[in-house]
Amino acid sequence: MNRHDVELLQKVRGYPALTITMPSHRTFPENKQDAVRLKNLVTQATDRLLKEFGKRDIPGLLHNLDEAVASVDHNMNLDGIALYVNKDIFRVYQLPFTPMERVVVDETFLTRDLVFSLNRSSRYWLLVLSEKPTRLFEGFRDNVVEVREGGFPMEHKGPGGSTALPGGRGVRKSAYRDEYHQQFFRSVNTALTEFISDDPLPLVITGVDKFVSMYKDISAFPIEGVIKGSHDRTAAHELGKAAWPLVEKYLSGRRDQLLGELAKAVKDGTVLSTMGDIWPAALQGRGKTLLVEEGFHYPATVDESGMKIEPSENPEAPGVIDDAVDEIIEAVIAARGDVVFVPDGTLTEHQRMALMVRF
């Protein structure tokens, strides 16, 4: 899953759009119950759809729902599953955290959990520096998945790599080797730029001291952690276990920094703390940084102008936005703002959500 996936889903408009989310289990035998739980939620969703539509009216959606369920490999489960289905597409994602159990039928997909995965600041890039090859991983907490696109994995095929160094009397092979290694790592940095520009996450690197030093000298991005030693053959799950504590330390400092910025914004009068104020500001593109508690949800209705919002006790009632927080998150991201999730109880003074505004 990446930002392109989320943006695609957020662009989908048209009723009915079905979202199903549920907790799942990583290990056997607990994950055996996940298939039953998913089947029950699919039955709930199907019954709800068939009460509103005839079977002949939504054949594409029902077919895609069957395909989505069939594509789930419960042996690969993480902490949650999210299904997005309409008449044209289906998408299934494994989530590295435990979501609420939901069945939502709406005009749009409920992408809050995907946004949460992308913006909760537990994701990172891990670059394993090596000649054969340099590998890039996307990390979710202590889980990492290798990236196999955009030039990665990348092998050093020049002199000093898969081809011989220049020879002859007086030739300093070590100098040539260093020069060609630097050229290789510049190519690595160029390829990495495409990923970090599109998805700016903390960067952790690992490799032998010489490679780490070389890469630090040419890196266009801040390096938030270094795992010492060669890890050419280290398994992905071991890399994740080594990288996550470094990322967690960085994130803790970043969260403290943002809370300090929030305190200053309060003094400057550039922060909004009520849903009634945050909703229109976010839709108008004024959001610079949104801080929201992880467990905060807000079913709501809006007036005809779309700018006035009121809470609703029934998220499944007609005309109710299942979660206005999801809509605000999407609006802030669309305006190139930042979204940061914080632990529940952090923003009590701000009614569980705060928006620092540009103007």
Rounded distance between C-alpha atoms, residue 93 and residue 22, angstroms: 11
What is residue 353's predicted lDDT score, i.e. its pLDDT? Answer: 97
Q: How confident is the model at residue 309 (pLDDT cuts 50, 70, 90)?
A: very high
For the segment 258-264, the average pLDDT, to the nearest whole number, is 94
Owning domain of residue 313: 270-357
pLDDT, tens digit, for every residue of 123-174?
899 999 998 899 999 998 888 888 988 999 999 875 555 455 555 554 455 5
Segment 26-39, tens digit of pLDDT: 888 888 899 999 99
User: pTM surpassing 0.85?
Assistant: no
- Asked whether residue 38 falls in the same domain as residue 142, the answer is no
Residues 248 and 40: their CA atoms lie apart, in Å, by 36
* pLDDT score of 171: 45
Domain edge (last residue) among 119, 144, 170:
119
CA distances to 124, 250, 263, 271, 340 from 257, rounded to whole Å, are 18, 11, 10, 16, 12
* Residue 112 phi, psi (nearest 5): -55, -40
User: Do the domain assignments include residue 146?
Assistant: yes
Of 59-63, 107-111, 170-174, 306-310, the range with the lowest mean pLDDT is 170-174
Whole-angstrom distance, CA of residue 106 vs CA of residue 237: 37
Residue at 265 is within a domain: no
For a pLDDT cut of 70, what percent of the chain falls above it?
Answer: 94
Mean pLDDT taken over the chain: 89
Express each pLDDT in 86-118 by its tens digit: 999 999 998 888 899 999 999 999 987 887 777
Which CATH number belongs to the domain containing residue 303 in this structure? 3.30.1330.30
Structural domain tally of the chain?
3
CB 166 within 8 A of CB 159: yes
In a domain, 50, yes or no: yes
Q: What are 66-85's pLDDT values in tens digits?
A: 999 999 999 889 899 999 99
Q: What angle do CA 147, 151, 156 make, to 5 degrees?
A: 110
